[in-house]
Structure 1
Amino acid sequence: MENIEIMGLVAAVLTTYSIVPQVYKTWSNKSTKDISLTMYLAMFLGVVLWLIYGIYHDSIPMILANFITAVLLFVMVVLKLKYK
């Protein structure tokens, strides 16, 4: 594996992990009053587009990071709709 791919994987792990605490807090507290649905929908759409881009370029770091992030963002959108 090339160094640039390793760097991509590290970046993918860090950026993907960054949303985990928010998902956990929202899930635990069952409160989304301070969460912007518009922001999460826009972010979800952007991440899905990055996922498609990563698939097109056959980039494992982009595919993994954006797939996992899309799932986490989808969970946040569902929680926002459920706990409004």
Structure 2
Amino acid sequence: METELIGGLAATLTTASFLPQAARVIRTNDTAAISLWMYLLFTFGVALWGAYGLLIGSRPVVVANAVTLTLALVILVQKIRHVRAARTKSRPR
């Protein structure tokens, strides 16, 4: 029981720490200061943590990573759109 409690607390804190960044990007639609490669790696890593949580049957790991993955994907999609838009603008006509 203590193990799950510690896991739940850790999952809550790490997911909560991500929320201000996600909220800011969603609110402002500004991803200029975010590294595309970092977010690609981060999102893939979060997906793998979620898979790991499923494999070991840990609800805190699964739930926390599902929430974080959802938010990370929203930000990643916005970042990719912004990168593509910037590339389109910078192409000579």
Q: When the two structures are superposed, what TM-score results if normalisation uses the length of structure 1?
A: 0.91
Q: Is the counterpart of residue 76 in structure 1 residue 67 in structure 2? A: no
Name the structure, 1 or 2, with higher relative contact order (CA <8 Å, separation 6+). 1
List runs of 5+ in structure 1 lacking aligned partners: none
Indicate conservation of the 8 Å contact 1:30/1:83, yes or no.
no
Written as runs of structure 1 = structure 2, the 5 A alignment for 1:1-80 is: 2-80=1-79
Q: CA RMSD in A?
A: 1.1
1:45-72 CA distances to partner (integer Å, 9 max, x unpaired)?
1111111111011111111111111111
Q: When the two structures are superposed, what TM-score results if normalisation uses the length of structure 2?
A: 0.82
Percent identity over the alignment?
39
| C-alpha distance in 1 between matches for 2:31 and 2:43 | 17
Greater fraction of residues in helix: 2
Whose Rg is larger? 2
